[in-house]
Chain A
Amino acid sequence: MRYLRPETLGEALAALATAPHAILAGGTDFYPAAGDRPLRTDVLDITGLAALRGVARAGDGWRLGALTTWTDVVKAGLPPRFDALKGAAREVGSVQIQNVATVAGNLCNASPAADGVPPLLALNAQVELSRQDGTRVLPLGDFLQGNRRTALAADEMMTAILIPDDLPGGDERSHFVKLGARTYLVISIAMVAAVVAVDDAGAIAQARVSVGSCSVVARRLTALEADLTGQPLAQAAAIAAPRHMADLSPIDDVRATAAYRREAALELVRRALSHCAGGQP
């Protein structure tokens, strides 16, 4: 069993090329998953790869290095469309979790209740996956394949999350709403992220709305997004309707029933849109 903590990406990818490793970053999923069992895997601790940490402009968009923590996201100067992601960042676990857990790790863990997924779906995020012989970029929606299943190959690691500058110009708003049975340290019953671009007349130029914890992978509500386009932002909340939730496939679990989740999701969508329009959440 090995423990590697390389300082260059090249070393890390070389290690992955030789054998599969458990990739350890924030550790907030790695250790709970281990429970009381001994850790009998080769471990690649990537936290020495300083170049992978931070949020920066990159080409026509933004790049979140794979070691960017939730606290880094909260502290970063970012345009308003990232407000939903920042909102999610403040509600991931606790301050203790946010200080070490990475956004990329949240995606790689691929929980249906991953707080980062709805806002990043609404940002049209892509993920950069690197291996020794090259790099590929996948839309987040393609990367996430199911409950705890992703497109990550054994010899790959996520190196960045890429956010394109693809919103129409003009005013942009975004918001995140998480519903749980208590205030802190809570896995959501349902959550919603909304990103909207508004033209000079106050009409929605583009809307992106996603819902988490209501399907194995969080989903964009494309039918709702289409219905919202061109409509006054002030009317957006009223346009959201039960039929727009049809693509969700929530389940019953210890937190809530499927039926409740479906209803709550609609209400949360309305609140997120209402907040974007300047109302209260």
Chain B
Amino acid sequence: MKRFWIVLSMLLLIISLLTVSTVAANEVIIGSPADARTLFAMKFIDLATHDPISNIYDPLITRDRETMEYIGHLAKGWEVLDDLTWEFYLNEGIKFHNGAPFNAEAVKFTIDYINDPDNEMAYRGRYSPIHTVEIMDEYTVRFHTTEPMPILLDRLTSCYILEPGYVTEFGETHASLNPIGTGPYKFVEWVQNQEIVMERFEDYWMGTPEVERVIFRPIPEFSTRVAALLVGEIHVIRDVPGHMVARVDSGRRTEVRGIPSSRVNYIALVNFQEGPMQSKEVRQALNYAVNVQELIDFVLDGSATQMAGPLSVINPDHDPSLEPYPYDPEKAVQMIRDAGYEPTQLSFTLDSPDGRYPQDREVAMAIADQLREIGINVSVRVNEWGTHLDRIINRNTGEMFLLGWGPAFNAQGTIESLMVTDRTYSGFGLSWLDEMVAKAVGLVDPDEMREAWDEIQQLVYDEAPWIFLWQQHDLWGVNSDLDWTPRADERVLGFEMRWND
């Protein structure tokens, strides 16, 4: 018996020594579903890569966190000289983490680096209309484009500036693993698939960040990520699913903070093949037949805002005169009959990804059920993400597919990419619409742009190339003691965080 108590005491001692330590430190640990691909800015951008990069590097332009309008960042201002020429005025006195000065040469180097095909930058296509960056003086650069590029400012919000001397001397591979930027956090260590550690840059040009260390920790399994948040091992996670909101909100030290995002979810109504989807009346009828608000309330637990047209209400190009299609199944049936079909004759396949967007598979199933209620036969095909994209690109989806799109802060980025015949992820095409979009993307004057995109949105609304679903709400799981408000542009910046006393 004595031996039993000795063994038990030793076990308890070991457990107490091993128990999770909760040492208070001025650091924020952000749990992400995947590890970054690289820390070289502009090489690849997915969320897991972009999050640490946006804390290490700075862009030229950013967005006001309230209005989402463009505001200067490394560039303090800009001017459109003519349709093909933009001039940017840079902030002075900014340093990279290695002490090198930020100046016009760094801007030119970055754009030239992206546009050099040998560097295999994934985002080259976005910057290829910039054919020259001219250095006017140390803090003024002039961008010359081959075609009018009104989307330039949007592109520059995610164009992170490289340190020319460092990249040239050490090469891209080294800089990918040991990045240098002008951002609020300096890189410390990257233990792949374990954590990326960065510490605050004391000389940051916007002031020293409050939080000393920011750590990104990849935790692929969602249940584990939530558990780590609940016990305080990590402090921020994105995309809390609806069914976990109550659990996170009831946590001793956690809460859910939601914000309407610019990301939209929709059902593409594919009109590339002969058949009923080529009829505008049928596509409109499908919009009347789906009860979007019911899906939001019961499938997404209210975490979305119904869309009127292809752009979310926080997209600055959104046309506020549009109203969502009302739910009217009788009208839907009548419109299908007017188009020369009986609802029971219609049989569609709806392709959906699984786990890419909030409750995507469940949404697809529920939409199929709602359409069956008016007699349309819809079968849902659930795809692994890569396969889903393969199907869209190769134009072998069913007559409908579910997709999300964002961050989306301008009309061109959404409408040109998703509704023009020859675009990669488009499910729709009309020659007159293609021509109208081609004209609109060449406009630089803000008033002319506004007018053109408003007209296109109204026509798109009428043509119904999608079942317009909703603007996603981003649900962040956050430690209650962390003073931080999520942003509509999905960025998670340590500079905007501080711990409550």
A and B part of one assembly: no
